[in-house]
Amino acid sequence: MQTESQKTHAQQPSAAGFTLIEMLSVVAIIALLAVTIIGIVGYVEKKTAEANAKMLMSSLEAAIEWYKADTGAYPISSTNRLISVGDATTNSWRLYQQLTTPKRYYQFRPEQIQLLILTGVTRIIDPWGAPINYFNPADPALASGVRSNKHSYDLYSSGRDRIWGSFDDVINWN
């Protein structure tokens, strides 16, 4: 038979567990932290890709200038073999070819180039996988001579959205 104090003790709830409100509060805090961290990681990835694109453009500009110092002219950009890529046509394979043979003016990393199996050419790509475009308006084979860079050649990437003329383009004439 139980005494009166044992009956009272048996009826009191245990203080060892957490209440539902406490558990939901902890889950909500963890969810908020996760959302914040995911947002920060996305922002850092975006800024890293933009910095890599600008660094690639600067490196290519240095290689093009080195090429000019050796040969007396910028690499040609005209070709009868433009490669269609979605809505864009690129001749970055021609620039790649001139900067790597016979003398290597720039050591491309694997993520900066892409081999197009069907055409058998290698093109230079930006961090988002879109081709880098190069045009030398001084090239005698170019009829229009239109350029955006008033000092030399045009070197540009369509950026993260892959749409030329939008806010995120990476260009060499600004």
Fold of 21-171: Glycoprotein, Type 4 Pilin (3.30.700)
pLDDT for 43? 95
CB count within 10 Å of CB 130 equals 24
3-state secondary structure of 11: helix
Checking if the pLDDT of 86 tops 50, the result is: no
Single-letter amino acid code for the residue at 170? V
Percent of the chain with pLDDT over 90: 36
Handedness of CA 117, 137, 157, 52 (dihedral sign): positive
For the entire predicted model, the pTM comes to 0.72
Segment 130-139 mean pLDDT: 81
Q: Which residue has the higher pLDDT, 160 or 30?
A: 30
Segment 124-139 mean pLDDT: 84
The model's pLDDT over 145-154, given as tens digits with 9 standing for 90+, comes to 455 666 788 8
pLDDT for 154? 85
Domain ranges of the chain: 21-171
CB count within 10 Å of CB 98 equals 20
Checking if the pLDDT of 1 tops 70, the result is: no
